[in-house]
Amino acid sequence: MSEFEQTQNLRRVFLRAAYDLGKNRPGRTVSLDEIGGVMQQHIPTTDPHFTSKLTEIAGFLDEKGWINKQTTRYEVISITAAGIDEVEGNKPPDTGATFQFYGDVQGSVIGTHNTAELTNNFDFRSIEQRIEREGGEDAGELKEALEEVRNLLERGDKLDRGGLSRFGEVMQRNSWFSGAVMNALLGFATQATG
């Protein structure tokens, strides 16, 4: 099992533990220690980073809207309605592809127009500067991922399925970076070739 798959599995186990432990409690509150008791089957308690790994998982689940922290460092959390739906598999039906673009919409084509032209104005330097400012511990991996995207666009190669998968975790932790990469790839893919 890859590190990415292990991380996904730990997140599922954590969320399921919050669901099971909080099921009959007011506010569905659960302590991190209780969840740690379940998680010790998956992360050795001898791991010096055991608590920080639990807190990191809680932070991710909080960002997804699946839990709420009840204390500042996630010592106590509660599972949300969206978290319950995730555990129970109650997902809304897929109604097709949805794209959300954040930023300036000047010149956008929205609706069912017959023609549209998108211009690729992706600025690698601004992303490099943002990595320096906000990348923290992930800065090295983010720079590698950005270089991979730059090489891909300069060569004009096809992006193979899983081509950026080794950067999956770092891109999840830095969603702003993922959005910038999608912007670059979409801009490149929609450029006229002639």
For residue range 17-76, what is the model confidence (pLDDT) as tens digits?
Answer: 999 999 988 889 999 999 998 888 877 667 778 888 889 999 999 999 999 999 888 999
Question: In angstroms, how far is the first alpha carbon of the chain from the final one?
Answer: 44
Measured in degrees and rounded to the nearest 5, phi and psi for residue 69 equal -85, 135
Higher pLDDT, 192 or 5: 5
For residue range 100-140, list pLDDT tens digits in order.
Answer: 555 555 455 555 555 544 444 556 777 888 888 888 888 89
pTM of the model: 0.48
What pLDDT does residue 102 have?
54
CATH assignment, 3-88: 1.10.10.10
Strands (E), the chain: 29-31, 67-69, 76-79
For residue range 146-181, list pLDDT tens digits in order.
Answer: 888 777 777 766 667 777 778 888 888 888 887 777
| Cβ-proximal residues to 179 (8 Å cutoff; 6+ apart), any chain | 102
Break the chain into its structural domains and give their ranges.
Answer: 3-88, 99-194
Q: Give the separation between CA 80 and CA 65, rounded to whole angstroms.
A: 7
